[in-house]
A and B are shown apart, each in its own frame.
Chain A
Amino acid sequence: MFELIGIPPQALFGQLLLGLINGAFYALLSLGLALIFGLLNIINFSHGAQYMMGAFVAWLLLRYAELPYWGALILAPLVVGALGVVIERLMLRRLYELDHLYGLLLTFGLALVIEGGFRHIYGISGQPYAIPPSLQGGTNLGFMFLPTYRAWVVVASLALCLGTWAVIEKTRLGAYLRAATENPTLVRAFGINVPVMITLTYGGGVALAGLAGVMAAPIYSVNPVMGSNLIIIVFAVVVIGGMGSILGSVITGYGLGLVEGLTKVFWPEASSTVIFVIMAVVLLIKPAGLFGRA
């Protein structure tokens, strides 16, 4: 086999695949954050906790209801999304007239409650979640071994991102959503129920996080802190990409995942900080973010 700058191809492509997978989660989560921010003007700090909840709900469903992966893939996001709807109705709704920072603080508090609750019940050690039988195994591509489940995650998340983009950019519902982002009062004057739309957007964004959590469950172990570590990186991704465009956040998410994977190959010590360094550089060169509107 050939070697690339002294790195065996298995290691290189293995890390690239891992980077692509991480990137898939960055993209899915930053997409949800951007959606919520667009309409609610709130940065959803509990996004990571809701991602973790998705994974936990899937695990609980498997353990206590023997509902397999495919069922959890539909049911868990619905549960997380429904909880999001309740949160929006009971709490976030009261903050729209205030400074954006209060939304951040409230959702930070929510994240602490959710994370603390799961930690109290299940401890901090992870719970294993088996890969569904239909997605076990893998194929040898010659230059690397591709596990089927990982391929599925990459394809599914790409499809989800593109689907979300299509709904927002190409459908009537998406047009309402974009209009309400620009000028909610005017959209209400046309007889569209904007408050319901806001509730559903928050529920939808959060459900997307829950869905990402279910997909992550078989890859990373299901544990209460899986979300909080991820969400900080996703914030950096959002700062780098800017929240102006859906496709922008998707591209930034995947791109940064790949960069992180490459760093793991060539300079492992820096892999945990490389995204933050990129963020600092982007802030110096283009403060509004790569795809941001100034």
Chain B
Amino acid sequence: MNGRIIAAAALAIGILAPFTGIYTVFLMKALCFALFACAFNLLLGFAGLLSFGHAAFFGLAAYVTAHGVKEWGLTPELGILAGTAVAAVLGLGFGGLAIRRQGIYFAMITLALSQMVYFFCLQAPFTHGEDGIQAVPRGYLFGFIDLMQPMNMYYTVLAIFVFGFAVIHRAVHSPFGQVLKAIRDNEQRAISLGYRTERYKLAAFVLSAALAGMAGSTKALVFQLASLTDAHWHASGEVVLMTLLGGMGTIAGPAVGAFLVVAIQNYLAESGAWVTIIQGVIFIIVVLSFRRGILGEVVGFVAKRKATPAAKPLEPRPASAITGE
């Protein structure tokens, strides 16, 4: 099984990465965003729903975790669970509203709803407005693993990412995932086959929101900070960019995109406006010239050359399947 080899290699790279001299905070940030993007892609890539408001789940979960850990003394695992749970509940509410419309309306509704969460985070007393929640203690995982040790924190983040990724992989390859793809490709047909498509879409939305929340909660612990940046619509745009760049039809593509986008942010951290300009340019280039994204193109190239199911575990989904090109 070629896919298992790739997965094992990726895991080995993940385990060995901190020893290569790469800054662990960068790796942890990238892993958090990778999970965020993979969660987002569950909706866009496999259910065909473009949410432009996923920062709401990411950002709010970060606030909940930061507040819980700092003010209520929750342990890190409980803090992350709390953030994930709140994101899931919020996802149930937003998803329930947004799936009442399709296509571009879906995108506009999720964007507007997330802006509401942004204003809530700006005004609610516990979020401390522009300052955010600072100096969040990382604490002891399960009571005895000191997360202030960079290596302990790194492997915790890696474990959370692998768990989240496994959940998404399982969901996509389950009968539930098959129905989602059917809805993406032809919703009317799925309805005529007797599926209650709105329930499937809502379930996918809640799962995606919960995992996005888990990513946000983890990021709050890594940076010991929950701030408005993570709830801003820019963050929603960034996760779309990561997914699009990496390949929205593929299961691992968004993670690749996340690493690239976070790397760009890191190298250009000095000049904020340039990051925005470059992200915009990447959007334009990807939409105009390679809509399958990096991994989608690679998978397509390999599949074309070998004409074997080599890349099967990656589930190559050409853009045409999503867009009806």
A43-B107, A110-B284 given as contacts; is B100 within 8 A of A283 (CB)?
Answer: yes
Residues of A within 8 A of B240 (CB): 105, 108
Whether A279 touches B109, Cβ cut-off 8 Å, given contacts A98-B323, A119-B276, A232-B115, is: yes
Partner of B103 from the list A100, A120, A272, A275 (CB cut-off 8 Å) is: A100
Q: Cβ of A239 and Cβ of B112 under 8 Å apart?
A: yes
**Are B277 and A113 within 8 A (Cβ)?**
yes
Whether B283 and A112, one on each chain, are in contact in the complex, defined by CB atoms closer than 8 angstroms, is yes
Of the candidate stretches B6-14, B116-124, B146-154, B310-318, the one touching chain A is: B116-124
Known: A94-B288, A100-B104, A239-B109. A105 touches B276 (CB 8 A): no
With a CB–CB cut-off of 8 A, which chain A residues contact B111?
232, 235
Contacting B113 at CB < 8 Å: which of A94, A106, A276? A276
Take A99-B322, A272-B119, A273-B119 as given contacts and tell me if A106 and B283 are in contact as well, using a CB distance cutoff of 8 Å: yes
Query: Can you list 30 residue pairs at the A/B interface with Cβ under 8 Å?
Result: A97-B325, A99-B323, A101-B323, A102-B287, A102-B323, A104-B104, A106-B283, A106-B287, A106-B288, A108-B240, A108-B280, A109-B279, A110-B284, A112-B283, A113-B284, A115-B276, A116-B274, A233-B115, A235-B108, A235-B111, A236-B112, A239-B105, A239-B108, A239-B109, A269-B123, A276-B112, A276-B113, A276-B116, A280-B113, A287-B100
| B residues near A55, Cβ cutoff 8 Å | none
Interface residues of A (CB under 8 A from B): 37, 43, 91, 94-95, 97-102, 104-106, 108-117, 119-120, 228, 232-233, 235-236, 238-239, 269, 272-273, 275-277, 279-280, 283-284, 287
| B63 interfacial contact with A, CB 8 Å | no
A283-B101 contact given A112-B280, A116-B280, CB 8 Å threshold: yes
Question: Does the CB pair A109–B123 fall under 8 Å?
Answer: no
Which B276-311 residues have a C-beta within 8 angstroms of A? Answer: 276-277, 279-284, 287-288, 291
A106 to B276, CA, bound (A): 14
Q: Which of B224-250 contact A (CB under 8 A)?
A: 233, 237, 240, 244
| Inter-chain contacts of B192 with A (CB < 8 A) | none
What separation, in Å, do the CA atoms of A113 and B82 have in the docked complex? 37
In the assembled complex, how far is the CB of residue A178 from the closest CB belonging to chain B, in whole angstroms? 21
> What is the CA–CA distance of A235 and B50 in the complex, to the nearest angstrom?
15
A235 to B107, CA, bound (A): 10
Question: What is the CA–CA distance of A37 and B103 in the complex, to the nearest angstrom?
Answer: 13
Contacts of A235 in B (CB 8 A): 108, 111-112
Q: Which of A105, A113, A284 contacts B97 (CB 8 A)?
A: A284
Count of CB-CB pairs between chains A and B under 8 Å: 123
Q: A105-B244, A119-B273, A120-B274 are in contact. Are A113 and B108 (CB under 8 A)?
A: no
- Please tell me the size bucket of the interface on B: 35 or more
| Nearest CB of B to A112, in Å | 3
Question: A227 to chain B: closest CB distance in Å?
Answer: 12
Q: Which residues of B contact A280 (CB under 8 A)?
A: 97, 113
Nearest 8 interchain pairs by C-beta: A109-B283, A112-B280, A116-B276, A113-B280, A120-B273, A116-B277, A99-B323, A236-B112
16 new A-B pairs (CB below 8 Å) besides A99-B322, A105-B287, A106-B287?
A91-B288, A97-B325, A102-B323, A104-B50, A105-B240, A112-B283, A116-B274, A116-B275, A233-B115, A236-B108, A236-B115, A239-B105, A239-B109, A276-B112, A279-B113, A283-B101
The minimal Cβ–Cβ distance linking B133 to chain A, given in whole angstroms, is 20
B281 near A113 with CB under 8 A, answer yes
Residues of A contacting B281 in the complex (Cβ-Cβ under 8 angstroms): 109, 113
B-chain residues with CB within 8 Å of residue A97 when the two chains form the complex: 325
Specify which chain A residues have a CB less than 8 angstroms from the CB of B109 in the assembled complex: 239, 279, 283
Kindly list chain B residues whose C-beta atoms are within 8 Å of the C-beta of A238.
Answer: 108
B20 contacts A by Cβ under 8 Å: no
Contact A239 B287 (CB under 8 A): no
B175 contacts partner chain A, Cβ-Cβ < 8 Å: no
What CA separation (Å) do A108 and B273 show in the bound complex? 16
- In the docked arrangement, what's the CA distance between A101 and B291, Å? 12
Task: Confirm or deny: B143 has a beta carbon within 8 angstroms of a beta carbon on chain A.
Answer: no
Contact between chains at A101 and B103 (CB < 8 Å):
yes
Q: How far is the CA of A275 from the CA of B119 in the complex (A)?
A: 12
Max chain A C-beta neighbours (<10 A), residue from B112, B120, B277, B325: B112
Known: A110-B284, A111-B280, A116-B277. A104 touches B107 (CB 8 A): yes
User: Separation in Å of the A40 CB from the closest CB of chain B?
Assistant: 12
